[in-house]
């Protein structure tokens, strides 16, 4: 297996890690908002929105990279 063959798999795993981190951060955000309502929860949600809005592009890009030529 060449290094170029590893790139799509690597990107897929990085994307999985990103989604797992997003889920964990959301859980923490919910806890923070429940125990300490205020500005912090909104700031974190804003960052999570960026992750969510980039997710479709990342997923499509990985699919293209994994498609055999």
Q: Cβ distance 31 to 41 under 8 Å?
A: no
| pLDDT value at residue 62 | 80
Higher pLDDT, 4 or 46: 46
pLDDT beyond 70 at 64: yes
| pLDDT value at residue 1 | 63
Q: Quick: pLDDT tens for 22-48.
A: 999 999 999 988 888 888 888 888 888
Q: ∠65-58-26 over CA atoms, to 5°? A: 145
Average pLDDT, the chain: 85
In-domain check, residue 69: no
What's the Cα-to-Cα distance from 34 to each of 20, 26, 40, 65, rounded to whole Å?
21, 12, 11, 41
Contacts 24+ apart (CB under 8 A), 2-5: none
| pLDDT value at residue 20 | 93
Q: How many domains would you assign to the chain? A: 1
Measured distance CA(13)–CA(23) in Å, rounded: 15
Q: In which domain, by residue range, is 44 found?
A: 3-63
């Amino acid at each position: 297996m060449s290094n170029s063959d590893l790139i799509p798999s690597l990107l897929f795993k990085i994307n999985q890690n990103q989604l797992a981190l997003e889920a964990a951060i959301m859980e923490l955000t919910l806890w923070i908002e429940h125990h300490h309502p205020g500005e912090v929860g909104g700031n974190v949600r804003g960052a999570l929105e960026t992750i969510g809005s980039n997710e479709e592009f990342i997923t499509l890009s990985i699919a293209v990279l994994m498609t055999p030529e």
